[in-house]
Structures are given as C-alpha cells and as structure tokens.
Amino acid sequence: MLTERYRVRITEEKLNPSDATDFASSERHGATVVFHGVTRNHTDSRKVILLEYEAYIPMAVKKLEEIASEMCSKWDVRVAIDHRLGRVDIGEESLVVAVGSPHRQAAFEAADYSVDRIKQTVPIWKKEHFEGGEIWIGDVDGFRPLEQKSN
C-alpha cells in the first residue's frame, strides 16, 4: 500500500502540533522541524486582541495539498500542514507545519519554503481585532498568485 507522504487539514478546532509532528515522523528520519504560526499580542504599536481566519475552504485545501506535494517532490520529506479557522486567541496556533526528513537541512528548507508559499497562494484571510478597531490583513501590492504559479 502506498503511504501518503503528506496530509493537510483546515479546522475550526484548536490545533494539536504533536499530531502533525507524529504524522511527519518516521524511523528513517533524523530531523523533524515544526513551525508554529501563533497570534502575537501586537502589530507595530497596535495592541492585538485576537485574530479571526476565514477561508475559501475547498480551494484552500487544494492549494495546501499542492504545496505539500511540491515539498515532497523537491525534498525527501514527510509533511503535515494544519491551518485553523475562526477566532484564534493570543498565543494560540493558526498554522502548524511539521516536516520530517532523514537530514535537518531538507527539513528546515522545506518548512521555510512552505510558509512562504502558504502566505502567497492559499485563500485564507485574517482579520485582526485590535484595541479600537478591526482590519483585514493583506498587502495588495505583494499579492501576485498568478506569477507565483510559474515557480
């Protein structure tokens, strides 16, 4: 039986990083790199209260799978990517990426690559609720998903 080398999840539940880590682990591996994207209590001088995530779920799953599949073709890795939706309080994870590999360099490189790609192409949006207001986060000038496609 062919064992999948990656899995992706989008959920409103609190993320469980050890679950992603377990998926990415293998007896063949000498390294597991786990990235936690966490709600921070400030943006510049604004005091952040919480973040709220929204997704175009079927397309977001498809894009996350594409990224995980790209990682597996570029490096010898196993990959788990979990993204949370809805309200995410300070200190809680919105994104967990676990990458396991026989050697640390591939695991670090693949994890770094995945977070950049996720931020470029996956249709998930974040609303920042801060003291005195709220704002959808995004940088129009930096958003070029079609150009990224040709990488």
Partner 1 sequence: MTEVTVLYFATYREQAGVSTERMSVTGDRVNLGELMRKICLEHPNITSESNKIVAAVNEEYQDHDHILNNGDTVALIPPVSGGCQTY
Distance CA 146, CA 151 (A): 10
133 makes contact with partner 1 (CB under 8 A): no
Helix (H, G, I), strand (E, B) or coil at 89: strand
Alpha helices in the chain (DSSP H): 17-24, 57-74, 104-121, 145-149
Residue 53 is a binding residue for partner 1 (CB under 8 A): yes
Q: What is the pattern of x (binds partner 1, CB under 8 A) and - over residues 85-114?
A: ----------x-------------------
* 41 is an interface residue for partner 1 by CB under 8 A: no
CA 41/CA 135 separation, integer angstroms: 15
Residue 37 binds partner 1, judged by CB under 8 A: yes
End-to-end alpha carbon distance in the chain: 32
* Residue 132 token pair: 């005195």
Q: Which stretch binds partner 1 (CB under 8 A): 11-19, 25-33, 47-55, 68-76?
A: 47-55
Q: Which is nearer to partner 1, 25 or 120 (CB)?
A: 120
Contacting residues toward partner 1, per CB under 8 A: 37-38, 43-44, 53-56, 58-59, 62, 95, 115, 118-127, 136-140, 142-143, 145-146, 149
